[in-house]
Amino acid sequence: MSESQAQTGGIDEIRRVRREKAEKLENLGWPSYPNGLSTSHQVGAVRDLDTEPPNEPTEDAEQYRLGGRIMAIRRFGKASFMDLVDSSGQIQIQLRKDILGEEEYQKSKLLDLGDIVVIEGPRFTTRRGELSIQVREITLATKNMYPLPDKHGGLSDVEQRYRQRYVDLIVNDEVKETFRKRSALIRYIRTFLDERGYMEVETPMLHSLIGGAAAKPFVTHHNALDMELYCRIAPELHLKRLVVGGFEKVYEIGRNFRNEGLSIQHNPEFTMLEFYTAWITYSELMDFTEDMFRGAALEVTGSMQVPYGEHVIDFEKPFRRLPVREGILEKIPNLDLQNADALVAAAKDKGLELEKTLPVGKLQMELFEHLWEAELIQPTFVTDFPIEVSPLARRKDSDPSLTDRFELYMTGRELANAFSELNDAEDQRSRFQAQMEAKAGGDEEAMDFDEDYCHALEIGMPPTAGEGIGIDRLAMVLTNSASIRDVILFPQMRKS
């Protein structure tokens, strides 16, 4: 029975037919999983050769040994054409009975879409002008036992695309390109920082205290030490300890973990860049960030005007700088920003219910985000956050109720968070104490009191600015991806 005939019997019948083919090939000397196969070139390298291939190769023509997956088959009696794909590209291969011989050609007729083969032969150009390889030797490397989705239709089930990313990558070139761009982004960031004297470091993934950001942690248990540990929310406090120790420019690109819901913007494990720089302020860090983002856009997309959905994100123009309180007053003139009753009433008038018992600074931030977040499409630094929502940031000299902090927004979401670091140990102790009181009041995202970190500040940290950038969200922008799952190879999924 042919595979086309087996289609009517469903997946199980197709798999049965493929197993039969594998057995036949095994008996004919083509085992499904041979060992020790090698290649001499990748497809991309062969395509990029600058010599013009002939219409008909000679017997002594240079040969190329390629390995890849068969993604299309066109059979015409005594000749077959297949599309061979590896990680570098696709090329057409030609199999002819008069060249391979009857026995080898009959074996090749048992090959299916998705099979992985190694072929060897010279280049030539078909009458239609297509670069091809004339196969003079072919070996089965891996027999595909499960039919692939249609190459043009791809995987129509979005959930299946994420759960079976390996299939999605095989049949969807755009998905491959997304992750190539993500890789290019991370490579660019490393180069950008390395060239400016930063040192890449690694800090613990397992923490004994909750700290570095406001988020609910994942909890685990270390059996040998009989102690509760937390998957890190952020590497911040360890990185700043390194600044205390004398490393004045440090960064880390790694995974963080936050026990939050799934959405198009959130995955419980995500990739963050955090970096810290002694002797600069948050204002200087904004200029630095603009340079980094402009360079990343140009490196990854080739342009500083990057399409995203129905918008074009302009990385070339100076990024807007919008203080929190000024932003609220721009939307609601004459509002008394220090009056909790007035803030709650204004929020209600705008369709947002707030609890009057919240600190004034938290009320301000909730109202600002409700009024502005969806509108911040173009790159915008939101600055001067209330101290109540910034437990690790330095107080603003001109107004101690605010901090020298910014968040970078674009496409209606936050991509970066940064501030001039608090380096006063006693002020930090008082902030931690406020966090502990919030935790006692039921705040599951409050930080623990980290006395060792306060001790590090007593040793002395120079004036420092630090920043965290969400790599996944930046990759979303630069690849025009609507969901964070589109830029994470294996996103967290609910049970199927």
Residues 143 and 174 in one domain: no
Residue 337 lies in a domain: no
Residue 203 lies in a domain: yes
pLDDT score for 3: 54
Task: Out of 86, 117, 148, pick the residue that ends a domain.
Answer: 148
Q: Residue 24's domain is classified under what CATH number?
A: 2.40.50.140
133: closest CA among 99, 88, 169? 99
Residue 78 lies in a domain: yes
- Helix 451-459 vs helix 425-440: angle between axes, to the nearest 10 degrees? 170
pLDDT score for 237: 96
Residues 408 and 271 in one domain: yes
Residues 185 and 141 in one domain: no
pLDDT score for 214: 82
Q: How far is CA 92 from CA 81, 82, 349, in A?
A: 7, 6, 64
Residues 144 and 256 in one domain: no
Burial of residue 145 (CB within 10 Å: 0-12, 13-18, 19+) is middle
Residues 279 and 391 in one domain: yes
Residue 347 lies in a domain: no
Residues 256 and 305 in one domain: yes
Residue 444 lies in a domain: yes
Residues 110 and 181 in one domain: no
Tokens of 14: 């197709």
Task: Out of 148, 178, 206, pick the residue that ends a domain.
Answer: 148
CB-based contacts of 201: which residues, under 8 Å, 6+ apart? 239, 242, 247, 250, 251, 252
pTM here is 0.91
Residues 107 and 221 in one domain: no
Residues 258 and 398 in one domain: yes
- Helix 282-301 vs helix 173-194: angle between axes, to the nearest 10 degrees? 140
Q: How far is CA 175 from CA 169, 180, 366, 477, 481, in A?
A: 6, 9, 36, 15, 10
Q: Residue 253's domain is classified under what CATH number?
A: 3.30.930.10
Task: Out of 119, 148, 177, pick the residue that ends a domain.
Answer: 148
Residues 53 and 180 in one domain: no
Instruction: Tell me phi and psi for residue 139, to 5 degrees.
Output: -135, 135
pLDDT score for 154: 60
Instruction: Tell me phi and psi for residue 341, to 5 degrees.
Output: -60, -40
Which strand (E) or helix (H) includes residue 102? helix 102-108
pLDDT score for 151: 63
281: closest CA among 460, 467, 420, 462? 420
Residues 113 and 221 in one domain: no
Burial of residue 290 (CB within 10 Å: 0-12, 13-18, 19+) is middle
Q: Which one-letter DSSP state was computed for residue 119?
A: E
- Provide the sign of the torsion angle of the four alpha carbons 321, 323, 329, 332, taken in this order: positive
Residue 301 lies in a domain: yes
pLDDT score for 215: 87
- Provide the sign of the torsion angle of the four alpha carbons 304, 306, 312, 315, taken in this order: negative
Residue 445 lies in a domain: yes
Residue 339 lies in a domain: no
Instruction: Tell me phi and psi for residue 235, to 5 degrees.
Output: -85, 10
One-letter amino acid for residue 35 of the chain:
N
289: closest CA among 315, 328, 259? 315
Report the domain count for the chain: 2
Would you give per-residue pLDDT tens digits along the chain (496 residues)?
455 555 556 889 999 999 999 999 999 999 999 999 999 999 999 999 999 999 999 989 999 999 999 999 999 989 999 999 999 999 999 999 999 999 999 999 999 999 999 999 999 999 999 999 999 999 999 999 998 987 655 666 788 889 999 999 999 999 999 999 999 999 999 999 999 999 999 999 999 999 888 889 999 999 999 999 999 999 999 999 999 999 999 999 999 999 988 899 999 999 999 999 999 999 999 999 999 999 999 999 999 999 999 999 999 999 999 999 999 999 999 999 999 999 999 999 999 999 999 999 999 999 999 999 999 999 999 999 999 999 889 999 999 999 999 999 999 999 999 999 999 999 999 999 999 998 898 888 889 999 999 999 999 999 999 999 999 999 999 999 999 999 999 999 988 7
- Domain encompassing residue 84: 3-148
pLDDT score for 444: 86
Residues 132 and 227 in one domain: no
Residue found by looking up tokens 């406090």 in the block:
237
